[in-house]
Structure 1
């Protein structure tokens, strides 16, 4: 059984806890972190367009790439330590939702809600989380990164439709 655990700053501890609770000891666990490519790419473009190409050593995009890689390495190391069992660490770069949804061959994908976590309901999933849930090629275990809000936070039902107007 292969389980992919999406590691994201702020929510990864809940995902790792879910992996420990809901998978057996022999499961192949992949801790996956995705660094978005758009931020360093924008910095590279701005540097090239505004400041020229004469000093590539001053390109802020390269520094952002290195910072993202170091941050990802640390998050994955912390997650692996908390998991406390053998796992594979995987770092990808690209569109976050597309990289995570590409959990091809996995038997389970574990991710945390990434939207409004103060209310129950559809807005508890942000755009990336919604895309992943809708397009994952395997079952998804969706966890709350902290205690779930109470049932009183469920959005009210939509108003009833108006009866047809007859003349």
Structure 2
């Protein structure tokens, strides 16, 4: 059994806790982190277009990429520690909703968290990327609240 746990800043503890409580003792656990490269691309473009060319060592986009990779590694390490057992780390780049759906292609379960408006337990409790994943995932999806829903 392969279980993918979608790790995002702010909601990852609930996803990890759900995996720890509900996943069998022997599944292939995958901690999935997505990096949207829009900020790094914008920094590269600004440097090339506005600040001049010929000094690639001063390109702020490279620094943004390194910071993003370090943050992803740190988040995955904290998630694995909270999980309490080994898990594979998968870091993908691109549009999160599309990458999560592709990563879940051969999974038996995808665990993700609501990340929208917690005051409205319906569709608004899902941000558009998460709504896309729930609608298009090729496997069952366990959707958890990052905290107890408001009003309960």
4+ runs deviating over 3 angstroms:
none
Give the gaps of 5 or more residues in structure 2. none
Q: Show the counterpart of 2:33.
A: 33
Distance across 2 between alignment mates of 1:92 and 1:53: 29
If the length of structure 1 is used for normalisation, what is the TM-score?
A: 0.88
Q: Show the counterpart of 2:141.
A: 140
1:1-167 alignment to 2 at 5 Å? Answer: 1-102=1-102, 103-150=104-151
> What secondary structure is seen at the aligned counterpart in 1 of 2:106?
coil
> Alpha carbon RMSD of aligned pairs, Å?
1.0
Distance across 1 between alignment mates of 2:57 and 2:147: 42
Please identify which structure carries the higher helix content.
2
| CA displacement at 1:148 relative to structure 2 | 1.7
Distance across 2 between alignment mates of 1:86 and 1:44: 36
Distance across 2 between alignment mates of 1:71 and 1:16: 17
Q: Which has the higher contact order (CA 8 A, sep 6+)?
A: 2
If the length of structure 2 is used for normalisation, what is the TM-score?
A: 0.96
Distance across 1 between alignment mates of 2:53 and 2:140: 47
1:37-83: CA deviations, max 9, x gaps? 11101111111111122111111110100000000000000000000
